[in-house]
Chain A
């Protein structure tokens, strides 16, 4: 048999022959469908990967040092979408300015952590695990949230992606990653997956762990796919990766999927060279996608139930480099949108560009204060148990 015949043969034999139609009802009938957060609130995390330049996102347009240090890339005062008489948004973020004007956007400046790490990977680890910068953890803050919830099922925390981030990995349980409910469902129905998932008991502990994970995956995939039947309100999303992913989130929310946390990332913010064009393209994509998402939720009457948080693993240095770009920095801004909170608009002081550490911004808000506030005051969870200690809450909820 040559390779071609073999492929043909395999394709024929694996398609569908191993499936059995009946689902294990016992496994399915657990507390599916109840929201996990007592408040019924939903958190959507949008991660900007690569280190978004915070100073050109929220621009200190009255600051001489800003213009002196960034002769090639500073945003001109006239172009800035002004939030107050100190700072304003990048001109590509008109939809975000509209949300601000509607009282839906809160900007938190100078968010970071002690002893900052300038490696993408490491700093993202720190943000996702919520540990001190000299500690290592194998679990993420949302994974631990899932661990401690009263009805832990993988789909309670959902990442819209093909692979699962550390942020959603727990001690007992991991969140679920799916790019598209139909695609994941298809994967769990193919080959031997479905049939194998029904074989729970295994005398070997590690093997049982794999079978348990498989059963949870199949069950979660079936639940989400079965539930996700609501079409969007007709809001038009930009045809970008982030737009598509937020559209999926919106559909799942409107379908009543009992997921409390959604996680989405967009990459490309590592702008060492020729930053302006690239950052503009990404921020426009971000702002248009988020604008469409919030408009969609508003039409569906859900904008007060859903808060969207945006962060990046670090900001960039105050001084631009010789290639019209910026190098890795430290503190940056966090956006909070919607959620039915009283808007703080711009919550705290703008970055102090005359008080730097080796050319980098000093943080004044620990990112874990943001997490703690979201966990306790928004999601109604035990923040200290999840974060390992108590962090001072912020006044945005």
Chain B
């Protein structure tokens, strides 16, 4: 990568862009600090931070967690009455909500930013939806994603596939010798590794799916949320998968999948579209995939991307539409925002269509332009007013029809209560002359410099007699309401 001396504004722009892609944006202080170092060492730091031991998400103990099914059993045995049952199920749903908010807090904190960003990517890739209101399984699943987010893809694939939450979501508990259920095997191939087809040619046959499903029989989990291989329900006969024959088990299938270059290509393409540009550059992806397949080291792949000159090309900057979680975490991080009550953050996720631990289906969130329609765009542009000015919230998300998640669906219409750490944010602009404030703030908040017409529009926010602090706050809210703020 080019380390020729860059002009200060373009270096600042590159660092801003890097933090917005490899994390959830940067504070002005982070930008200033990083600006003093070579870009390459900033990247190194992001990767190293991501490999440090990290604090697990924690909302519930394995010992005290009781599944809905067991709660119902307790009611049948007379240990719970109906009201207590309802209350316990409600608590389970709230625990999943708290897990969501705890993870969002980590994303917004800026610590291990790349790791959390990568884990969010994997959450969409290894999409798994909360089933049976069991917070323990989602907690384990989330921590497995985070633990392996920048590690080895093969290990991540194996670990997340063996997560009880995933085995449950993909019906592998029902995949038994003599009564195979193909759901798990099919999604492992179609969505986790190979993809359906490459250049029009199918990557696997229906026969491969059927046989692989037999190999995955016996992959089960215990009531306390532990993976267990149950030989009694495993089909130990010979299977023929991808032309090879043997008494394969699930682990063998995973090995075969990793050997296929299509897997490296499929994963690399998805990472490229998430971290670089929704429109794939086939040659670049081919090249990255070739390296990735050698050892499936995720951190090396990310380093190769972030240090490439083309990553900083004008056509990539501002080409990514923030997902709702990226938008929320990013806004919180940049301004040091705390929500005084939990519900608004769930409300925003629901309204904009990305609720953590509730992806729409096994294919994850489609992303890109799919985030945007008339309603979601207007809501996104209003969000700074809701968060920073406690403006009236006049929108209500749909209920998803599931009676068990109504406590996540509580109505909108209430003003957000937030605490914004303005003093830290403002300090960074203490020496900026008033006339330069709009452009200086835009350089921190937006992927592009302000155009003259926008500058004129933004300038109308400034009135004589305002203190600098007032100006910064008004300009920040206005800049965050521009469509460009939705982009990184």
Contact = CB atoms under 8 A, between A and B. Distances in A.
B401 A207 contact: no
A132 to B, nearest CB: 13
B374 A210 contact: no
A187 interface: yes
Contacts, number: 163
Interface string A193-225: 101100100001111011101101100110000
A209 B469 CA distance: 34
A10 interface: yes
A83 interface: no
Interface stretch (B262-270, B293-301, B378-386): B378-386
Interface stretch (B100-108, B284-292, B358-366): B358-366
A9 interface: yes
Contacts of A196: 457, 482-483
Interface stretch (B43-51, B222-230, B472-480): B472-480
Interface stretch (A253-261, A266-274, A280-288, A293-301): A266-274
Interface stretch (B116-124, B391-399, B431-439): B391-399
B84 to A, nearest CB: 14
Nearest to B390: A7
A213 B487 contact: no
Contact of A50 (B129, B362, B402, B466): B402
A154 B375 CA distance: 11
A207 B369 CA distance: 11
B418 to A, nearest CB: 10
Contacts of A268: 399, 403
Contact of B400 (A17, A120, A192): A120
Contacts of B401: 49-51, 120-121, 124, 267, 269-270, 313
B374 A216 contact: yes
Contacts of B370: 138, 169
Given A50-B401, A265-B398, A217 B376 contact: no
Contacts of B481: 191-192
Interface string A1-19: 1000011011101100110
Interface in A178-192: 183-184, 187-188, 191-192
A163 interface: yes
A206 B398 contact: no
Contacts of B448: 204, 207
B370 to A, nearest CB: 5
Contacts of B319: 204-206
A228 interface: no
A161 B412 CA distance: 13
B461 interface: yes
B321 to A, nearest CB: 6
Contacts of B487: 204, 206-207, 210
Contact of A192 (B362, B374, B397, B457): B457
Given A11-B389, A210-B486, A165 B398 contact: yes
Contacts of A271: 403
A28 interface: no
B457 A206 contact: no
Nearest to B484: A207
A143 to B, nearest CB: 10
A56 interface: no
Contact of B389 (A10, A134, A161): A10
Q: Which of A205, A210, A270 has the most CB of B within 10 A?
A: A210
A191 B398 contact: no
A206 B399 CA distance: 30
Nearest to A180: B394
Q: Which of B353, B374, B390 has the most CB of A within 10 A?
A: B374
Contacts of B400: 49, 120-121, 124
Given A17-B460, A220-B374, A271-B403, 15 more contacts: A1-B469, A50-B399, A134-B186, A154-B374, A162-B412, A164-B373, A165-B398, A174-B374, A191-B481, A199-B451, A204-B319, A210-B377, A210-B487, A267-B398, A313-B401
Interface of A: 1, 6-7, 9-11, 13-14, 17-18, 49-51, 119-122, 124-125, 134, 136, 138, 154, 161-165, 169, 174-177, 183-184, 187-188, 191-193, 195-196, 199, 204-207, 209-211, 213-214, 216-217, 220-221, 265, 267-273, 313
Shortest 8 CB-CB contacts between residues of A and residues of B: A49-B401, A270-B403, A50-B401, A217-B374, A210-B483, A174-B373, A267-B399, A136-B363
23 contacts: A6-B470, A9-B474, A10-B388, A11-B389, A18-B460, A120-B402, A121-B358, A187-B394, A191-B382, A192-B478, A204-B319, A206-B319, A206-B321, A206-B369, A207-B483, A207-B484, A213-B372, A213-B373, A213-B374, A214-B377, A214-B483, A217-B377, A268-B403
